[in-house]
Structures are given as structure tokens and as C-alpha cells.
Amino acid sequence: MEEACRFSADGLMLEALYENRSETRAVVITHPHPLYGGTMHNPVVDSIRKAYHAKGYSTLRFNFRGVGKSMGEHDQGLGEINDIFAARDFLINQGYTRIDLTGYSFGAWVNLMATRSAHGFDGLVLVSPPVDFIEFEMISNISTLNLVISGGRDEYASCEHIKKQLKNWNKSAIFIEIPGADHFYTGELGLLQKTLEERL
């Protein structure tokens, strides 16, 4: 069962939900855009959590600065990068030796921005990186990226655009399209979870 916890990023206390399922493996899960209602309680974020839960990972999802009860304010992705590494440090302090990173929509973009400039995660999975909404052109050579998933009807993360970008991000990463799914995986959350479980 998830438990409420807090950790500090740049002196700001961030609220989180943590579940200990493994002594060695854990994952940080990031949420969609705060200015459009994104929080750690988003249904897609929860489906991602359930998939990692099913595969035996400990999970940590949290609210970026300025969201919910997390202190601070939205920082256009810059401060949010520090939030991600603070979440990683929280898991390191719990004794985990493998820490992965995954995120949905805006969270996927911030994850890429974080891992392009620093290491510290063993694996990276992206769900619907919004390539048709946010600039991704400057991102390249993300060695930890191993899986990208998006919907066939996603107006913010079109499959064709992602495939073009993936050549720059990591040519060896796997891309999976969920036909018929929109950006919010309306009616397809179960399929998203199943797809993730099969690939983790």
C-alpha cells in the first residue's frame, strides 16, 4: 500500500506517495503538466504505477513544485528537473541499487531534460511525450531510454513525430503504438498497463 511521504528539493518540501515492494528496484514516476491540471493522482500516472507494482518495483510518485501540497511554484520544467533528482535521492537513501524513471506527457519531457544533462537512472520509459506541444528538438543521445509508448489518436504526442524524434533520442529504444488511444488513454488505461507490464 502506498504511504504519504515528503522530501526536499531546493529547500521546498514536495508531497509524494511511496510504496516499498522491493529491496533493490524502484521507479520515480512523474505527472502531466501542472498548468493543465496534472498531478500525481492522474489516471495515467496511476496505471503506470500499477504496471511497475505488478512487476515488483517499489514506486515513488510525487507532485512537482507548486502542485497540490508541494511547496513552491511551477518553473517551466527547470526547477522540476531538480525535483526529479531529489526524488531519486530519496530512493537512494532507502537503499535501492536500481532506480528507473518514467513519466507521462509533461513528465516525460522533464524526464528527458533531466537525463540529457545528468545520469543517475538505470532505465527510462516515456508515455506520450508531447512532441506536438513542447519543444523536444534539442534532446539527443539518451542512453538509458529503452521504451516509448503513445496512442494512435494522440493529438499532442503523434506517433509519427515521436518516431522521428526517437532517432535522436535513442535509436535502439522500442516504440509501441496503442491504436485508437488518445492522449488521455480514454477507455484504454487497462491496455496501457498491460503493455507496460509486458515490456518491463
Position 168 scores a pLDDT of 94
Q: What is the pTM of this model?
A: 0.97
Position 153 scores a pLDDT of 98
Element (H, E) at 45: helix 43-54
User: Any idea what the CATH number is for the domain that residue 147 is in?
Assistant: 3.40.50.1820
Instruction: Confirm if 11 and 19 have CB atoms less than 8 A apart.
Output: no
Inter-CA distances, 197 with 10, 53, 200, Å = 34, 9, 5
Position 138 scores a pLDDT of 84
Find the DSSP H helices in 60-105. Answer: 78-93
> Could you give the CA distance from residue 38 to residue 125 in angstroms, rounded to a whole number?
18
Element (H, E) at 48: helix 43-54
DSSP assignment of 145-167: EEEEEEETT-SSS-HHHHHHHHH
Position 116 scores a pLDDT of 83
> Could you give the CA distance from residue 64 to residue 81 in angstroms, rounded to a whole number?
9
Pairing of strands 98-104, 145-151: unpaired
Residue type for position 138: M
* Residue ranges in the chain whose pLDDT is less than 70: 118
> Could you give the CA distance from residue 121 to residue 118 in angstroms, rounded to a whole number?
9
What is the domain extent for residue 97?
A: 3-199
Inter-CA distances, 88 with 3, 18, 52, 152, Å = 17, 12, 16, 32
Position 137 scores a pLDDT of 83
Structurally, the chain folds into a number of domains equal to 1
